[in-house]
Amino acid sequence: MTYRRWFCLILLFLLLIGALSLEQTAYSQDAETFYKNGYIYFSQNNFEKAKESYQQAIQIKPDYWDARYWLGKTYEVLEEFPQAINEWKMILQNQPGHQEAFKKWRSYAVSQIRLSNQERQNLENVFLYQNGSPETYRNQPWDVVIPYGLAISRQNDFISAFLSARLFRWVGSQISSLLFDHAAISYQKALDFAATNPPEDSELVFQLIKDITNYYGQSNTMQKKVESLYQSILAQQAGVTAEETDNISQVEIKVTASGIESGPADNRSQNGSNPRFYIDTDIE
């Protein structure tokens, strides 16, 4: 009697497992069916039906990222923009390398950012002047850090370019590698602005050159821009135009965290005429 009871219990347990497995498979198939129906409705411009189908798909399978992406596109067509942005952001929070969701979300992210002056100053203090830990913003990359970086990257000044570069670089290394390209573009802009009009804050120049040395030491494009910046610094120190710096020889420019120094060079370069530049990377 005992053996029969155990046998019945085991059999019942196996039947329950089988039923659950079949139910999950059915749910998966239903989600796929709703997703395909949504795509058909979308291609027929029946966007309300498409929205309904995609919603049913993710109700069954919340991590159905393709369905969420197309639901976002459907919201976009219906001009339900906050809902569209939320769908794409949810994808990025779980799949930070999703390029298509990032492209769509990025188009609207700037319009959603609302920061007080104090919040902007806090970001500048942490990422530009390194007064504080970026970890404070680890849970806010898609709500604060990236949208703000995208917003200021459109501005035409050195501080905005350098700050956006550092914001993107941090997000790229900690959250999503999709931001590395944005970081490189912003660093190039920062170098261009600095070369055109060297900032009065020499510590920022020092930090910029150190970043380029650390992250883009093998990039010919970046190194050429650094050389242009050095020429501008030399011209500023010597009181001449950038074009006239070729006639200045045996000059050494030293960029440190505490300032920019110039003086006679100890050694000439190979052609014996161009000035030497270097950054004192031993100073943090």
- Residue linked to tokens 């900032």: 199
Alpha helices in the chain (DSSP H): 2-43, 47-60, 65-77, 81-94, 99-112, 117-123, 146-152, 158-174, 180-196, 202-215, 220-238
* Distances in whole angstroms, Cα of residue 5 to Cα of each of 15, 17, 40: 15, 19, 52
Domain regions of the chain by residue span? 27-112, 116-197, 214-284
Which range (91-105, 114-128, 149-163, 220-234) has the least confidence?
A: 220-234
Q: Which residues contact 22 (CB under 8 A, 6 or more apart)?
A: none
Residue 111 banded pLDDT, cuts 50, 70, 90: confident
d(CA 21, CA 148): 46
Two structure tokens written together for 269: 């370069």
Mean pLDDT of 204-210: 90
Answer whether 123's CB lies under 8 Å from 140's CB: no
Instruction: Give the whole-angstrom CA distance, residue 42 versus residue 39.
Output: 5
CATH code that applies to domain 27-112:
1.25.40.10
Q: Kindly tell me if the per-residue pLDDT of 273 is higher than 60.
A: no
Q: Is the pLDDT of residue 280 over 60?
A: no
How would you classify residue 256: left for phi > 0, otherwise alpha for psi between -120 and 50, otherwise beta?
A: beta
Tell me the residue type at 243.
E
Looking at residue 29, its pLDDT comes to 57
Q: C-alpha distances in angstroms, 268 versus 200, 235, 264, 271, 274?
A: 28, 18, 10, 8, 7
- pLDDT confidence tier of residue 4, bands split at 50, 70 and 90: low
**End-to-end Cα, the chain, rounded Å:** 80
Q: Kindly report the pTM of this predicted structure.
A: 0.79
List 260's β-bridge partners, or say none.
255
Q: Between 15 and 272, whose confidence is greater?
A: 15
